[in-house]
């Protein structure tokens, strides 16, 4: 009997290890494209202002998938849901690799993010459902290592695959491991009864309204600047987004089983924690996206060089994680959160002083600051937000808390695209005017010899010189816009500190809202 129990335990651990590999792939694919964005842009002829869709499509689909995971787990069982989601993730990865154009790639990324979004919460559900209580710490550690390694290695792995093979391989690499994961989960995890009746609790109307709001908001943030926020299509889209938001909130607050339980935001500590999670998403995903754009567009680096620079922040995060985990159980959670957000914000603001010549050395310490701060932003804020919930509600509250981080990332990347699109033309015009007036400071910004500029009008410029100067001016203007985006992100992190007083005391009654 003991041998039978040991054999059963081994098969459970094999199944759980396979699930962790599946989660690793899902987390990896958020950041694996970061170092390859400009390579994909050139291959599929994507406008620079639309490049953010490659990441926001994945993140927004995850935002929709995460709340669905709980009810789908009850309906299909954890085993079957994870296997089907992994198969869908593999198929979507293949579709991404075979994308003939930008629109097809975005559709495939939506599918990839939707299925990948189900893998991440399922692993942490498995910790409590599959693993004996005395081994749950070990299981949580294994899952945590997978979740930490993926964003650390993602940009470097993506850059290496793109440079040594092609950008298609950042998606093709999922095929074989994904198939193995799906097979292992079906083979090693025990069958569970299915409960299709649970699907009746799913409020389709709220789900549709939520999806329309998220997709419409992304579309509005990307398309609005290009149309100067004018015209019937933009105004109609803004109205549709607003109506979907208002109607969705109203319905979520009135039905018995909403797609997202917004009544949880009535708890002050939890609402403030979700606000911090949203801001963390802005900085976490926005900083990687913004830095990869700068390195590709301004510095002209190849994907592997971009990945080698981006890995600095992930490496610092990985090294700091044990220290943050140790401190999180021994120090005041609000003080640790304040430390994390202040240092992360400082790292963002420090990046706001880059020039067209800034490279690995100049970008090293701001990345170190953000990497050191990351786990101090995440762990204590999670404890503050989730502490006090009944055990039955922790999983759903945790899903909503993590959903807010992905939502912040998607909106942050779209907002960065909006800022870059809006601000860069103005910086171009201002730099041209200053150069024509002979301003040596403007010449330094553009990388021109300052000895040729003496605060005197430069006179007519021949077409050959114009064609030489134009890309230099555009790179300098783009750098100025990037700096403004860094300052905005850093300012939001400092403003987020104002949420901490709201987390001073536990709510008197943290009870289920449904």
Domain ends where: 194, 224, 258? 258
pLDDT at 69: 84
Confidence class for position 243, pLDDT limits 50, 70, 90: very high
Residue 374 domain-assigned (yes or no): yes
* Band (4; pLDDT cuts 50, 70, 90): low
Same domain, 165 and 225: no
**Mean pLDDT (whole number) for 251-273:** 86
Question: Does residue 369 sit in the same domain as residue 481?
Answer: yes
251, 386: one domain: no
In a domain, 114, yes or no: yes
In a domain, 510, yes or no: no
Q: Which of 39, 33, 77 is nearest to 59 (CA)?
A: 33
149 and 230 together in one domain: no
User: With 50 as the cut, is the pLDDT of residue 134 above it?
Assistant: yes
Last residue of a domain, one of 166, 187, 202: 202
430 and 482 part of one domain = yes
| Tokens encoding 10 | 């081994």
- pLDDT reading at 513 higher than 80: no
Same domain flag for 159 and 247? no
Q: What is the pLDDT of residue 5?
A: 62
Q: What number is the average pLDDT over the span 338-367? A: 96
Q: Is the pLDDT of residue 351 over 90?
A: yes
Same domain, residue pair 210 and 332: no
* Distance (Å, whole) CA 118 – CA 113: 9
pLDDT at 141 over 80: no
Q: Does one domain contain both 287 and 371? A: yes
Q: Is residue 266 part of a domain?
A: no
Average pLDDT, integer, range 68-76 = 84
pLDDT in the model for residue 510: 53
Do 325 and 464 belong together in one domain?
Answer: yes
Look up the domain containing 304 and give its range: 271-504
pLDDT in tens, 304-334: 999 999 999 988 988 888 888 888 888 898 9
Final residue belonging to a domain, choices 202, 231, 246: 202
Determine, yes or no, domain membership for 429: yes
Same-domain pairing of 350 and 246: no
Which range among 85-99, 156-170, 445-459, 485-499 shows the weakest confidence by mean pLDDT?
A: 445-459
pLDDT at 131 over 80: no
Q: What is the pLDDT of residues 25-51, one digit of tens each?
A: 998 888 889 889 989 999 999 988 888
Question: Which of 89-93, 230-234, 419-423, 500-504 tops mean pLDDT?
Answer: 89-93
State the DSSP string of 218-279. Answer: HHHHHHTGGGTT-SHHHHHHHHHHHHHHHHHHHHHHHSSS-SS-GGGGGSHHHHHHHHHHHH
Q: Which residue has the higher pLDDT, 351 or 265?
A: 351
Residue 13, domain CATH: 1.20.1250.20
Indicate the number of domains in the chain: 3
Provide the token pair at 288. 């990687």
pLDDT given for residue 113 in this prediction: 93
- 209 and 288: one domain? no
**Residue 136: predicted pLDDT:** 72
pLDDT of amino acid 1 = 42
pLDDT tens per residue across span 434-482 = 988 888 998 889 888 888 888 888 777 778 878 888 889 999 999 999 9
Residue 265 lies in a domain: no
CB distance 353 to 362 below 8 Å: no
Same domain, residue pair 153 and 172: yes
Mean pLDDT over each residue of the chain, to the nearest integer: 87
Helices then strands, counting H and E runs in the chain, come out as 17, 0
Per the domain annotation, does 380 fall within a domain?
Answer: yes
What pLDDT was estimated at residue 295? 95
pTM exceeding the 0.75 threshold for the entire prediction: yes
Contact 30, 151 (CB under 8 A): yes
Please give the pLDDT value at position 514. Answer: 46
Give the per-residue pLDDT at 508: 47
Lowest mean pLDDT among 208-212, 377-381, 472-476, 507-511: 507-511
Q: What is the pLDDT of residues 404-413, one digit of tens each?
A: 988 999 899 9
In a domain, 43, yes or no: yes
Q: How many CB atoms lie within 10 A of CB 217?
A: 22
Residue 303 has pLDDT above 60, yes or no: yes
């Amino acid at each position: 009997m003991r041998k039978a129990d040991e054999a059963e335990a081994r098969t459970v651990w094999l199944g759980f290890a396979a699930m962790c590999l599946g989660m690793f792939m899902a987390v990896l694919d958020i950041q694996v494209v970061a170092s390859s964005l400009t390579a994909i842009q050139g291959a599929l002829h994507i406008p620079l202002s639309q490049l953010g869709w490659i990441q926001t499509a994945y993140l927004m689909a995850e935002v929709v998938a995460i709340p669905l995971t709980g009810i789908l787990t009850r309906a299909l069982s954890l085993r079957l849901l994870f296997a089907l989601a992994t198969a869908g993730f593999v198929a979507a990865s293949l579709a991404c690799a075979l994308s003939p154009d930008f629109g097809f790639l975005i559709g495939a990324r939506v599918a990839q993010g939707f299925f990948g979004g189900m893998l991440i919460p399922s692993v942490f559900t498995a910790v409590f459902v599959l693993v004996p209580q005395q081994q749950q710490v070990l299981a949580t550690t294994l899952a945590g290592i997978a979740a930490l390694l993926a964003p650390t290695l993602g940009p470097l792995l993506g850059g290496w695959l793109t440079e040594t093979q092609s950008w298609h391989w950042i998606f093709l690499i999922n095929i074989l491991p994904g198939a193995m994961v799906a097979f292992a989960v079906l083979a090693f995890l025990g069958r569970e009864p299915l409960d299709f009746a649970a699907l009746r609790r799913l409020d389709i109307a709220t789900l549709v309204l939520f999806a329309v709001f998220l997709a419409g908001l992304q579309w509005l943030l990307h398309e609005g600047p290009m149309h100067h926020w004018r015209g019937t299509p933009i105004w109609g889209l803004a109205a549709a987004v607003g109506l979907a938001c208002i109607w969705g909130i109203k319905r979520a607050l009135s039905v018995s089983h909403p797609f997202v339980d917004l009544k949880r935001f009535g708890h002050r500590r939890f609402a403030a924690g979700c606000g911090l999670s949203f801001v963390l998403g802005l900085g976490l995903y926005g900083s990687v996206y913004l830095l990869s754009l700068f390195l590709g567009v301004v510095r002209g680096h190849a994907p592997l060089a971009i990945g080698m620079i981006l890995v600095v922040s992930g490496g610092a995060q990985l090294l700091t994680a044990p220290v943050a985990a140790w401190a999180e159980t021994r120090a005041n959670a609000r003080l640790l959160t304040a430390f994390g957000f202040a240092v992360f914000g400082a790292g963002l603001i420090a990046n706001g002083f880059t020039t067209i010549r800034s490279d690995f050395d100049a970008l090293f310490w701001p990345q170190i600051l953000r990497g050191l701060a990351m786990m101090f932003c995440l762990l204590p804020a999670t404890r503050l937000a989730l502490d006090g919930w009944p055990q039955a509600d922790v999983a759903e509250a945790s899903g909503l808390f993590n959903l807010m981080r992905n939502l912040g990332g998607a909106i942050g990347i779209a907002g960065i695209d909006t800022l870059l699109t809006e601000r860069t033309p103005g910086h171009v015009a201002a730099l041209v005017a200053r150069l024509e007036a002979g301003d040596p400071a403007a010449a330094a910004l553009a990388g021109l010899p300052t000895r040729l500029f003496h605060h005197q009008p430069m006179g007519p410029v021949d077409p050959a010189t114009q064609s030489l100067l134009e890309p230099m001016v555009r790179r300098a203007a783009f750098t100025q816009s990037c700096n403004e985006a860094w300052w905005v992100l850093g300012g939001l992190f400092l403003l987020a500190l104002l949420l901490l007083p709201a987390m001073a005391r536990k709510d008197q009654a943290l009870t289920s809202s449904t």
